Amino acid sequence: MIVKEEALSDRISEILKRWETNPMLRPRIAKVTVNVSLGQGGERLAKIAQVIAEITGQEPSYRKAKKTIRDFGIRRGENIAVAVTLRGEKAENFLRKALEAVGNKIKYSSFDDFGNVSFGIKEHISIPGVKYDPEIGVFGMDVCITIERPGYRVMRRKAKKAKRVPRRHRVNREEAVALLVSQYNVKIV
């Protein structure tokens, strides 16, 4: 689907007006998940985990291989990736850096129908403030942004849990685009 800039900007302005009238409709960033999959464990993965901890300000968790793949030299249960989930102010600070690394441009196809966004950073050294270390080399990472409205918690809480959140209260693709364009000055390509 090809998006025309004029139609998108008109739709964004309509959405922003609707958010001003009803604050419960204004979505927010619930979490930012950063994933670096190396495909092998060992010393390099531990060093990458240290770099991710420095960049994000939070300790990452290791991810294990689900099955053995002999062609790639991966054994089941071996650490092959690191991931970190950021929320609140840490998420917003990292997101600003990550968007700057990709030139504040995101493809329209990177948004799904439920307001989630995913994009990749090819080289970690493109993030502002990160320097090249010859021992580690260069690695890429995936950044996933989860966007939701206030009140979405009713589906996850323990007491008086709702079975589902209606479609009208979920964030759609256009609203996620409007949030990133208005808050982070992202250009949609």
In this structure, what token pair is assigned to residue 148? 């939701």
Tokens of 9: 């900007």
Domain boundaries, the chain: 5-188
**C-alpha dihedral, 91 to 92 to 98 to 103, nearest 10°:** 160
CATH number 3.30.70.100 given to 5-188: no
pLDDT above 50 for 136:
yes
User: What is the pLDDT at residue 1?
Assistant: 44
CB 18 within 8 A of CB 25: yes
Mean pLDDT of the chain: 90
82: Cα separation from own chain's centroid: 15
Helical axes 173-184 vs 88-101, angle rounded to 10°: 80
Residue 7 has pLDDT above 70, yes or no: yes
Residue 181: predicted pLDDT? 93
The span from the CA of 114 to the CA of 37, in Å, is 25
The pTM for the full model equals 0.88
> Residues 100, 92: contact at Cβ < 8 Å?
no
Question: Once rounded to an integer, what is the mean pLDDT over residues 90-105?
Answer: 95
Percent of the chain residues topping a pLDDT of 90: 62
**Helix residue ranges per DSSP H, the chain:** 5-21, 43-56, 88-101, 173-184
**pLDDT value, residue 3:** 58
pLDDT at 75 (0 to 100) = 85
Instruction: Please tell me the distance from the alpha carbon of residue 64 to that of residue 180, in angstroms, as a whole number.
Output: 32
The predicted model gives 135-157 an average pLDDT of 91
| pLDDT for residue 2 is more than 70 | no
Mean pLDDT computed over 59-81: 88
Q: Which residue has the tokens 């079975």?
A: 163
Structure tokens at 174: 């256009």
Q: How far apart are CA 85 and CA 32, in angstroms?
A: 6
Q: Looking at residue 144, what is its pLDDT?
A: 97
How far from the centroid of its chain's Cα atoms is residue 93's Cα? 12
Give the pLDDT confidence score for residue 4 in this predicted structure. Answer: 64
pLDDT tens-digit readout, 38-61: 878 788 899 999 999 999 999 999
Half-sphere exposure of residue 11: CA atoms within 13 angstroms, side-chain side: 15
pLDDT band at 126 (very low <50, low <70, confident <90, very high): very high
